[in-house]
């Protein structure tokens, strides 16, 4: 593993600081060059995010025919304001005791490096069906890149039309995940007037928000206790409504002119949240609170009896599938009928101050991805890798 191409790729990928608020043009250019070198045709879907930052999605194809296999990964990472050592930055990869440390090592540049290694091992002349690699931007902040791929990519339309199966390569420790929760953000705002708090000249936006928050709290308690809002296939089995509040007021003797609140829910497959959102909207209107809803992605579900699941189980020696509470680009790729979340590394390491991926997980990841490519793109039977 020490001299593997995947390890060299990962070292290089980590050196690109590709935090979501930055452009991912440079890392995408590096990946485009590698893909072209190894026989892929590359389609680019560019866009500008809400802050006018240029983002790039790569959709690459190798081979001819129909069907085949698609791999989905994202090139953006979360920020790294703190890091566990002063000897290296989060963007200087370090290998120690069988692990590679660096921002994105686990989530999910390690997975991308493993797929690049596996993909270039397959001779073009042995391929009877295509292999697609889709590398998106902005997965960490609302799946903006995947949404653009769905809207604009001709190669993605081709995948859907021909029934390509998909692997979202997020870190699952190479367990098979067939379902995850969705993602919906609600934003609330009240306005007041700033003034010295010793007078009655001002109006606190915080006091105006409190009656609404009491209503929201009651709805949240309902989602935690009423079985209609739960699904025992998940842990925890509820939508886990999270609340973030801010008034940006630095002085205790000034009435707050604005109060902002965000509520974040994670609906589960088959769950209709529109009645819940309607009730929250009615409460916001009652208390004169401005409300905005952003449906980030749908809950993800794929047939646990599908051929893709069965073949991956045979490769890994597994008998079951799992569910997870986090969301992925898979919640946007709803038109792709058969897909799984499956990749090297542990989600427990993602977004941490000492993010790493084990070299053993990378070794297994390369082997597993190679088996899937051999089966779905070359027509070969799968072989267990353990």
Residue 39 has pLDDT above 90, yes or no: yes
Rounded to the nearest integer, the mean pLDDT of the chain is 96
* Residues 164 and 141: beta-carbon distance below 8 Å: no
- Element holding 103 (H helix, E strand): none
Is residue 182 within 8 A of residue 268, CB to CB? The reply is yes
Angle, alpha carbons 306-310-314 (nearest 5°): 170
Whole-number pLDDT of residue 244 = 97
Q: What is the CATH number of domain 183-297?
A: 3.30.70.360
pLDDT of residue 2: 66
pLDDT tens profile 271-307: 999 999 999 999 999 999 999 999 999 999 999 999 9
Q: What is the pLDDT of residue 250?
A: 84
Question: pLDDT (tens digit, 9 = 90+) per residue, 124-155?
Answer: 899 999 999 999 999 999 999 999 999 999 99
Whole-angstrom Cα distance, residue 9 to residue 133? 15
What is the CA 281 to chain-centroid distance, rounded?
A: 28
pLDDT tens per residue across span 224-246: 999 999 999 999 999 999 999 99
* Residue 192 tokens, joined: 């007041």
Q: What CA–CA distances, in Å, run from 9 to 5, 60, 198, 319, 321? A: 6, 17, 61, 32, 30
Nearest in space to 297 (alpha carbons), one of 188, 181, 186: 181
Across 18-46, average pLDDT: 97
Using one digit for the tens of pLDDT, what is the confidence trace for 311-343? 999 999 999 999 999 999 999 999 999 999 999
What are the extents of the domains in the chain?
Answer: 5-180+300-378, 183-297
- H/E stretch holding 385: none
Grade residue 67 by pLDDT with cuts at 50, 70 and 90: very high
**What is the predicted pLDDT for the residue at 1?**
67
> Does 20 score more than 70 pLDDT?
yes
Residue 278 Cα distances to 189, 275, 288, angstroms: 17, 5, 15
DSSP H or E segment with residue 29: helix 25-37
CA atoms within 13 A on the CB side of 382: 23
Tokens coding 119? 């993909």
Rg, C-alpha atoms of the chain: 23
H helices of 192-324, in order, are 205-225, 274-286, 307-316
Q: In this structure, which topology does domain 5-180+300-378 adopt according to CATH?
A: Aminopeptidase (3.40.630)
**Sheet strands (E) in the chain:** 41-48, 54-62, 69-74, 94-96, 99-101, 131-136, 165-168, 177-180, 183-191, 242-246, 258-265, 290-297, 300-301, 322-324, 339-341, 356-358
pLDDT computed for residue 386 by the predictor? 74
Same fold, 5-180+300-378 and 183-297: no
**pLDDT above 90 for 3:** no
């Amino acid at each position: 593993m020490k001299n593997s191409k995947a390890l060299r790729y990962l070292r290089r990928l980590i050196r690109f600081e590709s935090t979501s608020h930055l452009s991912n043009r440079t890392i995408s250019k590096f990946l485009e060059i590698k893909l072209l070198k190894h026989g892929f045709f590359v389609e680019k879907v560019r866009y500008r995010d809400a802050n006018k930052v240029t983002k790039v999605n790569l959709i690459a194809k190798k081979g001819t025919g129909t069907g085949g296999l698609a791999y989905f990964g994202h090139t953006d990472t979360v920020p790294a304001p703190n890091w566990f050592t002063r000897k290296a930055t989060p963007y200087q990869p370090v290998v120690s005791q069988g692990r590679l440390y660096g921002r994105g090592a686990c989530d999910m540049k390690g997975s991308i490096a493993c797929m690049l290694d596996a993909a270039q091992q397959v001779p073009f002349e042995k391929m009877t069906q295509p292999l697609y690699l889709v590398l998106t931007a902005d997965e960490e902040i609302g799946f903006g890149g995947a949404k653009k791929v769905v809207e604009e990519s001709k190669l993605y339309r081709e995948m859907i039309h021909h029934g390509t199966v998909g692997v979202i390569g997020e870190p699952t420790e190479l367990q098979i995940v067939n379902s995850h929760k969705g993602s919906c953000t609600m934003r609330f705002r009240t306005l007041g007037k700033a003034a010295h708090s010793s007078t009655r000249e001002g109006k606190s936006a915080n006091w105006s928000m409190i009656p609404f928050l009491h209503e929201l709290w009651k709805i949240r308690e309902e989602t935690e206790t009423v079985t209609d809002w739960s699904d025992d296939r998940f842990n925890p089995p509820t939508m886990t409504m999270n609340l973030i509040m801010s008034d940006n007021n630095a002085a205790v003797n000034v009435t707050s002119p604005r109060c902002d609140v965000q509520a974040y829910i994670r609906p589960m497959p088959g769950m209709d949240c529109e009645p819940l959102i309607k009730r929250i909207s009615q409460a916001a209107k009652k208390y004169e609170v401005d409300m905005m809803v952003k449906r980030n992605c749908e809950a993800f579900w794929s047939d646990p009896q599908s051929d893709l699941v069965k073949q991956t189980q045979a490769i890994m020696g597994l008998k079951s599938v799992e569910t997870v509470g986090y969301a992925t680009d898979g919640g946007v790729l709803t038109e792709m009928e058969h897909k799984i979340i499956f990749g090297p590394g542990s989600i427990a390491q993602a977004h941490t101050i000492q993010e790493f991926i084990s070299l053993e997980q990378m070794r297994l990841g390369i082997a597993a991805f190679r088996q899937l490519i051999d089966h779905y793109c070359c027509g070969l039977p799968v072989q267990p890798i353990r």
